[in-house]
C-alpha cells in the first residue's frame, strides 16, 4: 500500500506463508489485531492443498504421521526420536491417477515447515517439481503444490469463512483433464493414521 502512495498510513499484514515454489491462497489483513487473532486460531484453521506426485498410490486415502526436524542445511526430515522432532500429520486422498502420476487432495492436520513435501517424498511419492525433496525436481518448471482452500473464523465477527481456488492449469497439463467435481473444498475425515517412523 505504501509503495503505491508514500503518504498513506494504511498497512497490510500477512497472516501466514507458503513455500517459495508453491502457489495458492494467502491471507492478508489490515490490522495487527486481526493478524494476532487469525494466527491464534491457525492450528484450527482448515487447510486443503492439491498436489501432483510421482507414482501410483496403492491406498485411495491415508494419513502419514512422523516426527519432523530440521538439520543445519535447513532440510526437513523424519526422525524416530520424538524428543527431537515435532509430531506431524498429513492426510490425503487420491483424486486421479495416470500410469506415472497422481493428483492428491491433502488435509494439512499440522503445520510444520515443508511437512507435505517431506511426508510425500519419504513415502516414495515426491511432489512433481520439488527441487529440494525430489531427485528430478529440476526437470519441471515449477512445483505442483497448491493451497486450494482455507476455512477460518472472521477475526471480528467470528463468522465461519471459506475461500477456495481452482486446480491450476499446470496440474491439468500434467494430469490431463481434471474433473472439477472430483476435488472438494475440504477432504473427508481422515482414516486412522499410518504411523511412519
- For residues 197 and 82, which has the higher predicted lDDT (pLDDT)? 82
Question: Which pLDDT score is estimated for 136?
Answer: 84
Residues with active-site annotation = 19
At 126 the pLDDT is 97
- Least confident range of 2-6, 11-15, 87-91, 122-126: 2-6
Phi, psi at 16, each rounded to 5°: -150, 180
Domains in the chain, number: 1
Residue 167 CA to residue 147 CA, distance in Å, equals: 9
Taking only the tens place, the pLDDT of each residue in 90-141 is 999 999 999 999 999 999 999 899 999 999 999 999 999 999 999 887 889 8
Check residue 176 and give its pLDDT.
Answer: 83
According to DSSP, the β-strands at 145-153 and 23-24 are parallel
User: What cell does 96 get?
Assistant: 486421479
Residue 190 has pLDDT above 60, yes or no: no
In a domain, 2, yes or no: no
DSSP the chain: -TTT-TT-----EE-----TT-EE---EESSHHHHHHHHHTGGGSEEEEEEEEES--SSSEEEEEEEEEE-TTS-EEEES-TTTSEEEEEEEEEEEE-SSEEEEEEEESS--TTHHHHHHHHTT-PBTT-TTT-TTGGGSSS--EEEEEEEEE-TTT--EEEEE----HHHHHHHS---GGGS-SSPPPP-S-EE--
Residue 7, in any domain of the structure: no
Confidence (pLDDT) at 195: 42
- Pairing of β 28-29 and β 101-108: unpaired
The predicted pLDDT at position 182 comes to 55
Residue 154 lies in a domain: yes
Give tens-digit pLDDT for 30-79: 999 999 999 999 989 999 999 999 999 999 999 999 999 999 999 999 99
Instruction: Give the structural domain span for 52.
Output: 13-195
Residue 132 domain-assigned (yes or no): yes
Report yes or no on 6 lying in a domain: no
Q: Average pLDDT, stretch 12-25? A: 93
Instruction: Encode pLDDT of 133-178 as tens digits.
Output: 998 878 898 999 999 999 999 999 999 999 999 999 999 999 986 6
Q: What is the CATH number of the domain that holds 147?
A: 3.30.2350.10
- What's the rounded mean pLDDT across residues 179-196? 49
User: Quick check: 52 and 140 in contact, CB under 8 A?
Assistant: no
Query: What is the reported pTM?
Result: 0.84
Q: Considering the domain boundaries, does residue 8 fall inside one? A: no
29, part of any domain = yes
Check residue 191 and give its pLDDT.
44
Predicted confidence band of residue 193 (pLDDT cuts 50, 70, 90): very low
Cα 168 from Cα 173, distance rounded (Å):
9
Q: Minimal CA–CA distance to 85: which of 69, 109, 70, 72? A: 69
Residue 149: C-alpha distances to residues 1, 34, 176 (Å): 25, 20, 22
- CB-based contact 126:157 (threshold 8 Å): no
Residue 66 in any domain: the answer is yes
Amino acid at each position: 500500500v505504501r509503495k503505491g502512495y508514500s503518504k498513506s498510513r494504511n498497512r497490510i499484514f500477512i497472516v501466514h506463508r507458503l513455500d517459495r515454489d508453491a502457489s495458492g491462497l494467502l491471507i492478508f489483513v489490515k490490522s495487527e489485531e486481526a493478524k494476532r487473532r487469525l494466527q491464534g486460531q491457525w492450528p484450527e484453521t482448515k487447510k486443503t492443498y492439491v498436489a501432483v506426485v510421482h507414482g501410483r498410490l496403492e491406498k485411495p486415502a491415508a494419513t502419514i504421521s512422523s516426527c519432523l526436524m530440521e538439520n543445519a542445511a535447513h532440510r526437513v526430515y523424519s526422525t524416530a526420536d520424538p524428543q527431537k522432532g515435532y509430531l506431524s500429520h498429513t492426510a490425503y486422498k487420491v483424486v486421479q491417477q495416470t500410469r506415472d502420476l497422481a493428483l492428491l487432495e491433502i488435509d494439512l492436520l499440522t503445520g510444520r515447515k515443508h511437512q507435505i513435501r517431506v511426508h510425500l517424498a519419504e513415502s516414495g511419492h515426491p511432489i512433481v517439481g520439488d527441487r529440494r525433496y525430489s531427485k528430478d525436481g529440476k526437470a519441471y518448471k515449477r512445483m505442483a503444490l497448491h493451497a486450494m482452500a482455507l476455512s477460518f473464523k472472521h477475526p471480528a465477527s467470528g463468522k465461519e469463512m471459506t475461500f477456495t481456488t481452482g486446480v491450476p492449469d499446470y496440474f491439468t497439463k500434467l494430469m490431463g483433464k481434471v474433473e472439477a467435481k472430483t476435488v472438494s473444498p475440504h477432504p473427508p475425515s481422515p482414516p486412522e493414521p499410518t504411523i511412519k517412523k
